[in-house]
Structure 1
Amino acid sequence: MIERLNSPKVVVLGGGYAGTLAANRLRQRGDVQVTLVNPRPQFVERIRLHQLAAGTGDAEIEYGTLLGEGVELLVDSADRIDPAARTVHLSSGGALAYDYLVYAVGSTGAVPAAVPGAAEFAYGIAELEPARRLRADLEALAMDAPVTVVGGGLTGIEIAAELAAQGREVALVCGRVLAPYLSGPGRRYVAKWLDRNGATVIEGDSVAEVRADAVRLASGVERASAVTVWTAGFAVPGLAAASGLSTDDLGRLLTDETLTSVDDDRIVAAGDCAAPSGRPLRMSGYAAGPLGARAADTVLSRLAGTEPDVIDLGFTGACVSLGRRDGIRQIGRKDDSMTGLFIGGRLGAIIKEATCRFVVAKRIRLEARKPGTMVWIKGGPRAVDPAADRSAA
């Protein structure tokens, strides 16, 4: 038997941007017991993993500096959720009972099995361990050895730019076009920066095979590649589907507009793994915080016996770093479509860095000190997320 305490117990699965903020925000109600379950003892700044991989920065923060008093960190992973018993079964063999569950397991990199050699030879940078491996192998690699980055989205641009700024020989294989999320002027700015810094941009072609020392493109062209980095596409953990919960085609938990599971009102989702009304928001650090806050508020409303509010999030655009001294702040509309306006150059890099710091200092740490203080931009219809690329900001 699992002992169930009298005070409401909320288990948060996943200690990323959404889960960590949700755990802190739940402390608005003093009698709630909050347990944050995460497979690592450190918080990973995923929006800095391209820096970690390139050797130009770090991406780990101790949870002791992020979690508010009373949040228990459990270093473990969930193998299965039993909604009927309100229990999470852990990889360690233990189990956690809950009154409410915040499902915030995030997203992962997706290397297609259909591309021969991709799973065997390509590196991902969507998670900490692959980024560490890539960093170690790059450090052992000659500076003039060719590197191929697969994926012309924001993640691919950032790692390609980070390496090109070091003087490495980089080719960026975009698939269709470079930076499809950005506006036309924004795309041209990024393309000019990459060209000026020696990176080769290949549009209208894709990688059909990855080898240990080369890639073969769909056009039949073969290119030498001492290291191949795969950034084309993201997936989500299969925990929800494995637990018998309703998901979309990618595996995101299906919820209503309050982020409550369509199967169980004791399970609330947040971040990249949530699909409200089957129309998920763009996978991004920008959306993760507000979704984590809304998930916490939904749980608190249900505990109080009140009706939860629906999500109402407006986007403002995206930030992309181009090495350590350049960047672009693309201005967008609340519905996540882009305007023709952007801020580039050194100022763009400063805004990008300020954005990264803001996510931790002014969202997560502020909620740790003063639960319930976070606000966000409202309004605008939500765009469907094709899950083709995760925004850098």
Structure 2
Amino acid sequence: MRNKREILILGAGYAGMSAAVNLGARVKRRDDVRVTVVNAGERFVERLRLHQTATGQQLAEFDIPELLESIGVGFIRGRVREIDPEANTVRLDDQRLLRYDHLVYALGGVADTARVPGADEHAFTLDSAADAASLAGRLDRLAAGTVVVGGAGLTGIESAAEIAERYPQLRVLLLGRDEPGAAMTDKPRAYLRAGLDRLGVEVRGGVDVVKILADSVELAAGESITADAVLWTSGVRAAPVAAAAGLTVDDLGRIVTDPTLRSISHPNVYAVGDAAAIEQGYGLMHGTCQSGMPTGVHAAVSLTRELKGKQPKPFRFGYYHTPVSLGRADAIVQFTKPDGSPRRWYLTGKRATWYKETVNAAPWPTFLRMTRFPGSGAIWPSGGRYTRRAGAR
């Protein structure tokens, strides 16, 4: 009997799990293919909700190996140490060596703490559930004081709002180069700012953080702000594994892909989610769950085609919306054009809260549907273009 075709999926976030469950369901009746997921933990992390974990809220727990076992996909718990794309091997931290014929690289991204001195040592991040829990512990110990949130993007806005709502005794200061909601139209942006004001979040746009100390934040203009805790959400960079392996990456360490999501330097490697630099007609995609899950599905569909001797099709994707929570009882949803620019339509208040909670619900039901009906759920491929019923941000 010939050897099995080995497909390794590195990472079990939104993109990696979308690839794993979709591919596993498509090849589960084949005895010549083995699909294995490698991930540092067995619990699925809802990164979109880590700002809730950071404020002490309990989220549902989902077991990755249990779901994968139901469709015959293997699971290995371990951290990826290095990849040898010439030998087609992956080495884990405990020195285990894994072989692959095809690789799906879904190791995601982390907060870019390297570009600001002191961020690594003194700032909290939301890169993992453990990181979020660490911040929650710090906030619980503060009877008073100032929490600085660095970065006025979506993660920074949601985190600042959540902290201000859950810890009203704390001063919450949101710092960013741009104003919150800068990509929205006038009315949604005004609603967003009013919501932050209502929660007591102080906003300062047009500022650059140049250094983070144990008890303060220094700005480019020379000002120093006392801080009892700093959450850093400004910018994302990819894990260094791909660059160290010699795969072609961009300046943020993301694997540069061809139109089908294969590495331009190593075509037996697919890159998905935040780990991939994917060019579309409107420019480079920005990493979100909204775009990450479709890349995982596309990789699964493409690998299935390759296993049948067919060529994969190009990936095409258009954005649909930008949902932003303002605590647990308020939100705003800016609908967008496919290139991410804002449309006139938007939702606010209770309607926006319901919408966001619906589309940002845990993806586990979607993964379960994929195990039975590959490509079903919130996202599915149609002629090479990915559309959405209602997808997470």
TM-score (normalised: structure 1) = 0.90
Structure 2 partner of 1:24: 21
Map 1:41-60 to 2 at 5 A: 41-58=42-59, 60=61
Note closer, same or farther for the CA distance 1:79–1:269 as it changes in structure 2 (3 Å cut): same
Question: What is the aligned length?
Answer: 379
SS in 1 for 2:200: coil
SS in 1 for 2:44: strand
Larger displacement relative to structure 2 (176-185 or 125-134): 176-185
Deviation at 1:64, TM superposition (A): 4.3
Aligned mates of 2:131, 2:189 — CA distance in 1: 28
Aligned mates of 1:120, 1:81 — CA distance in 2: 28
CA deviations on 1:195-254 (whole Å, 9 max, x unpaired) are 111111011112232222222222233322111111111110011111111111111111
Structure 1 partner of 2:161: 161
SS in 1 for 2:38: strand
Aligned mates of 1:250, 1:59 — CA distance in 2: 32
Does 2:278 correspond to 1:276? yes
8 Å contact kept, 1:313–1:379: no
Match of 2:291 among 278, 287, 290: 287
SS in 2 for 1:54: coil
8 Å contact kept, 1:290–1:376: yes
Larger displacement relative to structure 2 (284-293 or 65-74): 65-74
CA deviations on 1:24-77 (whole Å, 9 max, x unpaired) are 111202223110000112111100110000113427422145434211111012
8 Å contact kept, 1:312–1:378: no
8 Å contact kept, 2:148–2:231: yes
The residue type paired with residue 162 of structure 1 is: E
> Which consecutive residues of structure 2, in runs of 5 or more, have no partner in the other structure?
none
SS in 2 for 1:194: helix
Does 2:305 correspond to 1:301? yes
The residue type paired with residue 195 of structure 1 is: D
8 Å contact kept, 1:109–1:127: no
8 Å contact kept, 2:359–2:392: no
CA deviations on 1:231-290 (whole Å, 9 max, x unpaired) are 111110011111111111111111111011112221111111112359541110111110
Deviation at 1:86, TM superposition (A): 1.7
CA deviations on 1:131-165 (whole Å, 9 max, x unpaired) are 121111111111x3211111110000000000111
The residue type paired with residue 148 of structure 1 is: V
Q: Percent identity?
A: 36
Does 2:370 correspond to 1:373? no
Structure 1 partner of 2:327: 323
Deviation at 1:331, TM superposition (A): 0.6
Note closer, same or farther for the CA distance 1:6–1:379 as it changes in structure 2 (3 Å cut): closer
TM-score (normalised: structure 2) = 0.90
Deviation at 1:329, TM superposition (A): 1.2
The residue type paired with residue 109 of structure 1 is: A
Aligned mates of 1:224, 1:160 — CA distance in 2: 17
Aligned mates of 1:274, 1:341 — CA distance in 2: 30
> Which consecutive residues of structure 1, in runs of 5 or more, have no partner in the other structure?
383-390
Note closer, same or farther for the CA distance 1:84–1:118 as it changes in structure 2 (3 Å cut): closer
Note closer, same or farther for the CA distance 1:372–1:203 as it changes in structure 2 (3 Å cut): closer
SS in 2 for 1:282: coil
8 Å contact kept, 1:10–1:100: yes
Larger displacement relative to structure 2 (268-277 or 64-73): 64-73
